[in-house]
Amino acid sequence: MPELPEVETVRRGLAPALQGARLVRVDVNRPDLRWPFPERMAERLTGATVIALDRRSKYLLAHLDTAETLIVHLGMSGRMVVDDALRPGAFHRDAGWHPRHDHVVLHTDAHRVTFNDARRFGFWDLAPTDALDATRHFARMGPEPLSDGFHADHLIAAFRRKASPVKAALLDQRVVAGLGNIYVCEALHRAGISPTRKAGRIAPRRVATLVPVIRDVLAEAIEAGGSSLRDHRQADGSLGYFQHGFAAYDREGQPCPRDACDGTIRRIVQGGRSTFHCPVCQR
């Protein structure tokens, strides 16, 4: 599933085509994805202007001049790709792309933005912009990891007396928004903290070190266009490249890349998800 860097990469790619643009036509080619589309979605979107394109956690947000916000979650395989309206099909289409999975198409005067989702685990929603934080998507969500609201005092307080492993704590969207399996594995490896350590048993000074590490990992991933392991594509259809710099994730059996560490990356299962870590340098 796309994590924060992948969604942010998509947002940045879509912004030149959608931000400030009027939606002159909206094609909705099926009644639902993971859940049914909002009532009269095509009608409510048609004619609206996108005031700003934003992101919250793993969600894309298109704020409209109709006082509503379009909420898009990419799910497991969702992609949003931009075509030049005069030259449709100009972006890169990989072998996994099939037109039958083009479920929503947004038309502006200059571009066409296609939402393609083979597995249909994504979803679209519409909510009043002034009540966005109260929706079921965001009501209990923690701070953005790249925002000023994510700081050492917040994380120390969130971890206090927490009996769950630190990896599970960081995946809890109520603690911090947008982190997923890949970047938690990478951040914990970079910080030298074992993913199995109970969050509440980690010294506050070590918890504090996670904040800049998480920010650095996310910033580097965004700069690289995210990680393309299976389905992620940027808005022009191209791949992300952060997967080539993984230190721990998906490197089972390979030497730990940390200087002076002679450990080997191992894979364990936590909460039904694969965790990759070095048992030698992560304590």
The residues annotated with a catalytic role in the active site are 2-3, 58, 273
**C-alpha pair distances (Å), 46 with each of 97, 106, 216, 237:** 26, 9, 39, 25
Interior CA angle at 15 toward 104 and 113, to 5°?
A: 20
What distance in Å separates the CA atoms of residue 162 and residue 166, rounded to the nearest whole number? 9
Polymer length of the chain: 283
DSSP, collapsed to helix, strand or coil, labels residue 132 as helix
What distance in Å separates the CA atoms of residue 154 and residue 25, rounded to the nearest whole number? 44
* 8 A C-beta contact, residue 109 and residue 22: yes
